Structure 1
Amino acid sequence: MGKLPSQRITPDFPFKSVGTDMAGPFYIVNRKGRGARLMKCYLCLFICLRFKCLHLEAVSDLSKDAFIMTLHRFVSRRGKPAEIYSDNGRNFVGAARELSKFTDTQNIALTEFTAQQNIKFNFTPSYSPHFGGIWEAGVKSAKYHIKRVMGNSHLTFEEILTLFAQVEAILNSRPLCPLSTSPDDFLFLSPGHFLIGRPLNALPARALENEKEPQLKRYARLEQIKQHFWLRWQKEYICELQIRTKWKTNKAKLKVGDLVLISEDSLPPLCWSTGRVTRLLYPGPDGIPRVADVQTTVGCYRRPLVRLCPLLDDEDTELKNLDSSTGGVC
Structure 2
Amino acid sequence: MHFNQRGRRPIKVYLCVFVCFLSKACHLELVPDLSTNAFIAALKRFFARRGISAELFCDNATNFVGASRELKAITDLIWNDSGKQQIVDQCSQLGVSFHFIPPRSPHFGGLWESAVKVAKQLLVRSFNSIALNYEELVTAIAQAEVVMNSRPLHPLSSDSNDYEALTPGLFLIGRPLNCMPEPFDEDILKLSATNRWKRIVAVHHAFWRRWSLEYLTLLQERSKWSSVCNNIQPGILVLIGEDKIPPGQWALGRVHQVHPGTDGVVRVVTIKTKSGLYKRNIHKICPLPIGDKE
Per the normalisation by structure 2, the TM-score is 0.89
Q: For residue 112 of structure 2, what is the amino acid of its counterpart?
A: W
1:272 equivalent to 2:247? Answer no
Distance 1:215 1:101, change over 3 A: closer
What aligned pairs does 1:278-289 form with structure 2 within 5 A after superposition?
Answer: 278-281=256-259, 283-289=260-266
1:196 equivalent to 2:173? Answer yes
1:172 touches 1:200 (CA, 8 Å); kept in 2? Answer: yes
The structure 2 residue matched to 1:171, chosen from 148, 151, 165, is: 148
Give, in angstroms, the shift of residue 70 of structure 1: 0.7
1:192 touches 1:198 (CA, 8 Å); kept in 2? Answer: yes
1:88 touches 1:124 (CA, 8 Å); kept in 2? Answer: yes
1:98 equivalent to 2:98? Answer no
The structure 1 residue matched to 2:196, chosen from 218, 236, 240, is: 218
Aligned residues: 276
Give, in angstroms, the shift of residue 253 of structure 1: 1.8
Distance 1:209 1:59, change over 3 A: farther
2:241 touches 2:284 (CA, 8 Å); kept in 1? Answer: yes
Give, in angstroms, the shift of residue 208 of structure 1: 3.6
1:133 equivalent to 2:110? Answer yes
Give, in angstroms, the shift of residue 284 of structure 1: 2.7
2:255 touches 2:269 (CA, 8 Å); kept in 1? Answer: yes
Deviations 1:45-87 (A, max 9, x none): 0111111110000111011111111111111101111221112
Corresponding residue of 1:15: none
1: distance between equivalents of 2:264 and 2:29? 51
Corresponding residue of 2:55: 83
2: distance between equivalents of 1:92 and 1:204? 42
What aligned pairs does 1:290-305 form with structure 2 within 5 A after superposition?
Answer: 290-305=267-282
Give, in angstroms, the shift of residue 101 of structure 1: 5.0
SS in 1 for 2:192: helix
SS in 2 for 1:121: strand
2: distance between equivalents of 1:287 and 1:268? 36
1: distance between equivalents of 2:195 and 2:270? 43
Distance 1:197 1:92, change over 3 A: farther
Distance 1:98 1:216, change over 3 A: same
Corresponding residue of 1:234: 212
1:262 touches 1:273 (CA, 8 Å); kept in 2? Answer: yes
| Unaligned ranges ≥5, structure 1 | 1-25, 104-110, 317-330
Q: For residue 36 of structure 1, what is the amino acid of its counterpart?
A: R
SS in 2 for 1:214: coil
Q: RCO higher in 1 or 2 (8 Å CA, sep ≥ 6)?
A: 1
1:67 touches 1:95 (CA, 8 Å); kept in 2? Answer: no
SS in 2 for 1:52: coil
Distance 1:126 1:100, change over 3 A: closer
Q: Structure 1 stretch 39-48 or stretch 242-251: which is displaced more?
A: 242-251
Give, in angstroms, the shift of residue 92 of structure 1: 5.0
What aligned pairs does 1:152-167 form with structure 2 within 5 A after superposition?
Answer: 152-167=129-144
Distance 1:58 1:299, change over 3 A: same
Per the normalisation by structure 1, the TM-score is 0.79
What aligned pairs does 1:28-177 form with structure 2 within 5 A after superposition?
Answer: 28-29=3-4, 31-32=5-6, 35-89=7-61, 90=75, 91=78, 94-101=82-89, 114=93, 117-177=94-154
SS in 1 for 2:147: helix
2: distance between equivalents of 1:156 and 1:74? 22
Q: Structure 1 stretch 289-298 or stretch 85-94: which is displaced more?
A: 85-94
SS in 2 for 1:44: strand
Corresponding residue of 1:306: 283
Corresponding residue of 1:205: 182
1:27 equivalent to 2:2? Answer yes
2: distance between equivalents of 1:99 and 1:148? 32
Aligned-residue Cα RMSD (Å) equals 1.8
2: distance between equivalents of 1:95 and 1:157? 27
Distance 1:278 1:149, change over 3 A: same
Give, in angstroms, the shift of residue 216 of structure 1: 3.6
1: distance between equivalents of 2:100 and 2:231? 42
SS in 1 for 2:40: helix
Identity of aligned residues (%): 42
Moved over 6 A (4+): none
| Unaligned ranges ≥5, structure 2 | 62-74
